[in-house]
Amino acid sequence: MFSFNIYNPTRIVFGKDKISQIDKLIPKDAKVLITYGGGSVKKYKTLDKVKEALGDRIHFEFGGIEPNPKYDTLMKALDIVNKENINCLLAVGGGSVIDGTKFIKLAANYDGEPKELLTKGGSHKVKENKNINIATVLTLPATGSEMNSGAVVTCDEGKFAVNNPMCFPMFSILDPTLTYTLPETQVANGIVDTFVHVNEQYLTYPVDARFQDRTSEGILRTLIEIGQDTIKNPTNYDLRANLMLCATMGLNGLIGSGVPQDWTSHMIGHELTALFGLDHGKTLAIVMPSLFEVKKDAKRDKLIQYGKRVFDIESTDDNEIIDLAISKTREFFESLGIKTRLSDYGIKKEQIDLVIEQLKNHNFTSLGENRDIDLETSRKILENAL
Amino acid sequence: MFSFNIYNPTRIVFGKDKISQIDKLIPKDAKVLITYGGGSVKKYKTLDKVKEALGDRIHFEFGGIEPNPKYDTLMKALDIVNKENINCLLAVGGGSVIDGTKFIKLAANYDGEPKELLTKGGSHKVKENKNINIATVLTLPATGSEMNSGAVVTCDEGKFAVNNPMCFPMFSILDPTLTYTLPETQVANGIVDTFVHVNEQYLTYPVDARFQDRTSEGILRTLIEIGQDTIKNPTNYDLRANLMLCATMGLNGLIGSGVPQDWTSHMIGHELTALFGLDHGKTLAIVMPSLFEVKKDAKRDKLIQYGKRVFDIESTDDNEIIDLAISKTREFFESLGIKTRLSDYGIKKEQIDLVIEQLKNHNFTSLGENRDIDLETSRKILENAL
């Protein structure tokens, strides 16, 4: 096991009708900016419940944070934060709204042009000098943003990750019933996102980290068990509760502690979203099975463990276990209605050059747990995914 | 799954030679009281390393916190805290030292006679009004105290649990190499303590909490895998690292979130320690298998799941699975050199009255996940453990 340092001060308030807890958790004298995305939080009255819980607290609203939240949009919210001396950002939505809200806080604490935090990096160095709390009401289990300190934001130059401890939410409300009204495809995307997050921290090489491995395997098995059922039965509380908890635990620092990690699927996936507008979850379903195929030698031991412990594959032939583990991964994504080939989305071989060019522009030239996924290997992964 | 609320702000710094990180984590102007137990932290130079890391910070020492830390001892440390205006308590040791140190902080923040927090309860209501941080350097993986807000303290009236969010350590250093010099019996006790903690949060009745169940099963399987080996190979880093992480994760709030719990083994065990001086781990190894036998109907579904998933028992006869699961639990404890019968420790049937009397005195008359373990059932559990 590698050495590690974990710290996660986010309070999770989990269960039905927990929005009312906001009244206990946000100071009475807070000046709140509620951030949200499209109309669904209005349509399904989530915003009304949030405002009811806020009671007499001074609060403003900022809607319109889009999927893959855009820098320019977030800068408009920053104006309100500065003008109204907001000291509490309350994100109501999924990963995009929460990520965008984290970036608003980072930008409010940054002395220079906030775009530099995306294009030049260094977000982890920003010092917290303004007292602005972040809190969230999660409506879409997927990204894990509700219990971590990272965010992904899009600008003209591409899709960029930021991270800073000041971005841990003070608390997150996880009410599984808020997910009942989600469209099927968003739930499916969220299941894939969670499954891929876990594998990015699990499927590398063994370092004898048994707690982390088994916890990862537990989430993966659970997602396979409940995946199709939770899509088909949107108002089954326990299914949605299990999905929501797995999504949060899949990317809150726990299973990634002390182990090697491989974020190739997310890095290549981000370029596919930026270039072709594919849903984030769908890009991951395309890249990960192909990554496993191309890197099956380096990931050999873990692929065997994954096949045996996650898919219960019994065979004396390790190569067969590996091949089955990869094909079952692909089948799992397809079983959720998520296609796993670039060609399924109309992307052709000649367009791969564009992706490679962007990976090069963003300096993603040595990805993977061994830092050996260069542009040529990324090309192989994409060609194999056609 | 039940509703829940989790919050855990303790930073874990895990790995070899991490004591030096104290210099980064404790403010330069802190006034520190180092608390410890017997001579082993001196003998093996752990205390020297801690003092080196503290550098020029003003610090005092308080040794002699005994196993099952005593109220009177801790009150002597409180005198130093008050006299010297200590604002950082640095516990160097195992669960007893850490528990005792938490109680010192609670007492420093309590207006009345601190003993009331034990005999009258109400520790969770104490308000934090003094700025005193707790930090720990863990030397014995067992209690999980390094990453939770609870403590157990002994006074003339018995052994009592306290709990308050102010007792979360600010950080805990977990260096597996610090455990290399532990006596075998302490390691074995720690393995049993962790195993029992996990089962107290797992082995009740199913509530469809898949993440919690699988994470619990992962810790249990890991302990069974590494238990004997880590006792036999005290300087194997990975074995000790896995044990240390499992012990911390076994009682930090994670696996107990949203599930029923049954702390009967600890409650009865505390009385056995207080009355007969048995090691804490040994009392648990006596009570838990017997508890399972006496409550096998109420715990039926979970015992079957435990048998299948933790011990890989394959049978079409559920009763056989249950019986095997219980006998394998007992065998596991015995394989670590921990006897599981009261008679192994010279405790006779007629002494059970004393235990029942103490359970009555302490109002432990409705234990278990269904609150139905009355004094008569506790008697059955003890008689069955003879």
Q: What is the mean pLDDT of residues A8-15?
A: 98
What's the average model confidence in pLDDT over A30-55? 97
Residue A318 and residue A303 in contact, taking contact as beta carbons nearer than 8 Å: no
How many whole angstroms separate alpha carbon A325 and alpha carbon B37? Answer: 51
Question: Token pair for residue B362?
Answer: 């302490």
CB contact under 8 A, B219 and A211: yes
Band of residue B327 on the pLDDT scale cut at 50, 70, 90: very high
Query: How many whole angstroms from its chain centre is CA A352?
Result: 24
On chain A, the residues whose CB falls within 8 A of the CB of B22 are none
Residues of B in contact with A214 (CB under 8 A): 214-215, 217-219, 221-222
Instruction: Report residue B339: phi and psi, to 5°.
Output: -70, 150
Separation in Å, CA B269 to CA B284, B288, B385: 6, 9, 12
The pLDDT of residue A125: 97
CA distance B280 to A66: 55
In angstroms, the CA A12 to CA A32 distance is 20
B166: its two tokens:
């102010």
Contact flag B245-A211 (C-beta cutoff 8 Å): yes
B56-94 pLDDT, tens digit per residue, is 999 999 999 999 999 999 999 999 999 999 999 999 999
Cα separation, A253 vs A201, in Å, equals 10
How far apart are the two ends of chain A, measured CA to CA in Å? 36
A307, A313 contact by CB (below 8 A): yes
Mean pLDDT estimate for chain A: 97
Q: How far apart are CA A217 and CA A215, in angstroms?
A: 5
Question: Which residues are paired to B152 by β-bridges?
Answer: B161
The alpha carbon of A211 is separated from its chain's Cα centroid by a whole number of angstroms, namely 22
Name the 3-class secondary structure at B69.
coil
The burial class, CB within 10 Å (0-12 / 13-18 / 19+), for B361 is exposed
- Asked if residue B159 has pLDDT above 90, the reply is no
User: How far does A12 lie from chain B, in Å, by closest CA?
Assistant: 5
Q: Which CATH superfamily is domain A184-384 in?
A: Dehydroquinate synthase-like - alpha domain (1.20.1090.10)
Tally DSSP H helices, then E strands, for chain A. Answer: 15, 8
Number of residues written out for chain B: 386
The two structure tokens encoding residue B311: 């011990």
pLDDT score of A158: 87
Residues of A with CB below 8 A from B206's CB?
none
**Within 13 Å, how many C-alpha atoms sit on residue A98's CB side?**
29
Nearest one of B61, B142, B55 to B94, comparing CA atoms: B142
Residue ranges of the domains in chain B?
Answer: 11-178, 184-384
Render pLDDT for B193-231 as a digit per residue (tens, 0 to 9).
999 999 999 999 999 999 999 999 999 999 999 999 999
* pTM, two decimal places: 0.97
The H-or-E segment that residue B153 falls in is strand B150-155
Could you tell me which chain B residue has the CA closest to the CA of A18?
Answer: B3
CA distance, residue A18 to nearest chain B CA (Å): 9
Count of C-beta atoms within a 10 Å radius of residue B135: 26
**Band of the pLDDT at B24, cuts 50, 70, 90?**
very high
What ipTM was assigned to the predicted interfaces of this complex? 0.97
Determine, for residues B214 and A218 on separate chains, whether the beta-carbon distance falls below 8 Å.
yes
pLDDT over 90 at B177, yes or no = yes
In this structure, whether the domain defined by B11-178 belongs to CATH 3.30.43.10 is answered with no
| A155-207: pLDDT as tens digits | 998 889 999 999 999 999 999 999 999 999 999 999 999 999 999 999 999 99
Q: Are strands A31-36 and A88-93 parallel, antiparallel or unpaired?
A: parallel
The SS3 call for residue A64 is coil
Closest in A4, A221, A246 to B15, CB measured: A4
Nearest chain A residue (CA) to B8 = A9
In this complex, how many residue pairs, one in chain A and one in chain B, have their CB atoms less than 8 Å apart? 119
Please report, rounded to a whole number, the percentage of residues in chain A having pLDDT higher than 90: 99
Q: What is the mean pLDDT of residues B98-106?
A: 98
In sign, the C-alpha dihedral spanning A137, A140, A141, A143 is negative
- The predicted structure's pLDDT at residue B33: 98
Which residues, at least 6 apart from A211, have a Cβ–Cβ distance to it below 8 Å?
A: B218, B219, B222, B242, B245, B246, B249
**Cβ atoms of B117 and B107 closer than 8 Å:** yes
Are the beta carbons of B211 and A7 separated by less than 8 Å?
A: no
User: In this predicted structure, what is the pLDDT of residue B197?
Assistant: 98
Query: CB under 8 Å to A317, separation ≥6 — which residues?
Result: none
Q: What's the CA gap between B144 and A296, in Å, rounded? A: 38
Q: What are phi and psi of A338, to 5 degrees?
A: -105, 115
CA gap A179, A334 in Å, rounded: 22
B129 φ, ψ to 5°? -120, -10
Q: Give the separation between CA B126 and CA B332, rounded to whole angstroms.
A: 40
Contact A3 B14 (CB under 8 A): yes
CA–CA dist B214, B194 (Å, integer): 16
Q: Across the interface, do A245 and B9 touch by the CB < 8 Å criterion?
A: no
Backbone angles phi, psi at A118, to 5 degrees: -90, -55
Residue of B nearest to A244 (CA): B211
A114 contacts A99 by C-beta, under 8 angstroms:
no
* pLDDT band, residue B128 (cuts 50/70/90): very high
Tokens of A176: 């599984």
Q: What does residue B280 show for φ and ψ, rounded to 5 degrees?
A: -55, -50
Chain A residue numbers touching B2 (CB-CB < 8 A):
15
- In which element (H, E) is residue B136 found? strand B133-138
B236-268, pLDDT tens digit by residue?
A: 999 999 999 999 999 999 999 999 999 999 999
Rounded to the nearest integer, the mean pLDDT of chain B is: 97
Average pLDDT over residues A47-67: 97
Q: Which residue type sits at A146? A: E
Distances (CA, A) of B16 to B179, B245, B266: 11, 13, 32
In angstroms, rounded to a whole number, what is the distance separating the alpha carbons of residues B152 and B163? 9
The answer to whether B374 and B270 are in contact (CB under 8 A) is no
CB-nearest to B215 from A18, A218, A226 is A218
What is the C-alpha to C-alpha distance for residues A381 and A281, in angstroms, rounded to an integer? 17
* Residue of A16, A191, A195, A215 to mutate for B, most B C-beta atoms under 10 A: A215
Q: What is the pLDDT of residue B102?
A: 98
DSSP designation for B252: S
Instruction: Look at residue B334 and give its three-state secondary structure.
Output: helix
**pLDDT (0 to 100) of residue A159:** 86
Contact A197, A250 (CB under 8 A): yes
pLDDT bin (cut points 50, 70, 90) of residue B158 is: confident
User: H or E stretch including A171?
Assistant: strand A171-174
Q: How far is A182 from chain B (nearest CA, A)?
A: 21
CA atoms within 13 A on the CB side of A137: 30
Q: With beta carbons less than 8 A apart as the criterion, state whether A67 and A36 touch.
A: no
A219 band by pLDDT with thresholds 50, 70 and 90: very high
Tens-digit pLDDT profile for residues A267-310: 999 999 999 999 999 999 999 999 999 999 999 999 999 999 99
